[in-house]
Amino acid sequence: MPGARFAEIPVESIVPNPKQPRHVFDEEAMEELKTSIQEVGLLQPIVVRELDGGEKYELVMGERRWRAAQATGRDTIPAIVRDTRDDAMLRDALLENIHRANLNPLEEAAAYQQLLEEFGATHEELAKRIGRSRPQISNTIRLLNLPAQVQRRVAAGVLSAGHARALLGLDDTQSQEDLALRIVAEGLSVRATEELVALAVAEGPTPTAKPAKRRVKAHAPALSDLAERLSDRFDTRVKVDIGRSKGKITIEFATVDDLERIVGIIGVERTEQQPE
């Protein structure tokens, strides 16, 4: 991408921006960031510009990440090296990296967050550029709210993005960590995890929710089996919900082409093209 490039550069070759308006950094927040870097890794690249012909680099964005990386003893740090002052070009460079690179779900979430916070990108722009829906982007960013131990398992590929999104349905971090351990130990599928989360939510904080809990247990296995068969048929995630008076089937798709593929499987196109 003209105007910007990605690189792993030595931490010691970076100098702070003398015009940085922030001089006081919250110690507690810095400790949390250091812990996250140690357990999950540095997910968001900093932004720098070259000095002295490339021997030194001046920080443009990301001083907290740079300081935390220093404190954890890292030798190098991922960075966008800007060759221009055009912020739009830097934003495009990061978008290109998201679109082309094989990022894990947490790296993807961090890249989205960086685009929103530092480069002024919008959800609509992200959705258009990478062929995803706004809800998908929002749900991916929410993965950054998971506990560090769970994030580490997602980054390592032990837990899938589907598992991680299901865990977000639980209110407290301890429950999320406990269920994450169970997923790994028992090899639970995403749908089994979603069912466990639904049961936990249905039970609620009070013992008066027993009728609702019994109803969920009675219907959940059949619904889960049906949703799994539909998901296999359409090669995408399908949810089946039944309320008191009606039910709903939700079929997810990534792009318009993906939607057309699913519609073709359903048979709408074949029905329209039948002869008289």
- pLDDT at residue 131, rounded to an integer: 79
- pLDDT at residue 19, rounded to an integer: 55
> Residue 29 pLDDT more than 60?
yes
Mean pLDDT of the chain: 77
Cα distance between residue 162 and residue 159, in whole Å: 8
- pLDDT at residue 275, rounded to an integer: 46
> Residue 25 pLDDT more than 50?
yes
- pLDDT at residue 213, rounded to an integer: 41
User: Per mean pLDDT, which of 89-103, 198-212, 222-236, 259-273 is the most reliable?
Assistant: 222-236
For the stretch 201-223, pLDDT in tens is 887 654 433 444 444 333 445 66
Helix axes 123-130, 87-100, angle to 10 degrees: 50
CATH of 5-142, one of 3.30.70.260, 3.90.1530.10, 3.30.2010.10, 3.40.710.10: 3.90.1530.10
- pLDDT at residue 20, rounded to an integer: 52
- pLDDT at residue 1, rounded to an integer: 57
- pLDDT at residue 218, rounded to an integer: 36
- pLDDT at residue 85, rounded to an integer: 66
For the stretch 125-155, pLDDT in tens is 878 877 788 888 888 888 988 988 898 888 8
For the stretch 54-105, pLDDT in tens is 788 988 878 888 889 989 999 999 998 887 666 666 676 667 667 666 678 8
For the stretch 160-184, pLDDT in tens is 889 999 999 998 889 999 999 999 8
Domain residue ranges in the chain: 5-142, 159-203, 221-259
Q: Which residues are catalytic?
A: 63
- pLDDT at residue 176, rounded to an integer: 92
Long-range Cβ contact pairs of 218-222 (< 8 A, separation 24 or more): 220/195
> Residue 256 pLDDT more than 50?
yes
Q: What burial class does residue 173 get, using C-beta atoms within 10 Å of its C-beta: 0-12 exposed, 13-18 middle, 19+ buried?
A: middle
Mean pLDDT of 111-116: 82
CB 204 within 8 A of CB 218: no
